Amino acid sequence: MLPDAPRRWWAEQIEKWGLVELPMTADVLLRGSELPPHHKDPFDRVILAQALLHDLSLVSSDRAFPAYSVRVVW
């Protein structure tokens, strides 16, 4: 359970940590659908596509992520 209303909590986290939200574009969605089938979860494939397209590291313990040649921290 979040300590505050979700929208308020999210806005506070964005400000607190200096986060940048990335848009979920058609390019990201299409890239996610084109990835090799190491991972079956469609949302995780979108996360992977974002990381690959924007040269980002992922913070996750998901064991399928490294198969995509993305930097994983954890």
pLDDT in tens, 6-18: 999 999 999 999 9
Asked, for residue 9, whether it belongs to a domain, the answer is: no
| Whole-number percent of the chain with pLDDT over 90 | 93
Asked, for residue 65, whether it belongs to a domain, the answer is: yes
1 pLDDT band, cuts 50/70/90, is confident
Contacts of 44 (CB under 8 A, 6+ apart): 62, 64, 65
Residue type, 44: D
pLDDT in tens, 37-50: 999 999 999 999 99
Number of structural domains in the chain: 1
Output DSSP code: residue 40.
Answer: -
- The tokens describing 55, both together, are 């040269």
Angle in degrees, CA 12, 70, 13, rounded to 5: 5
**Domain span including residue 35:** 23-73
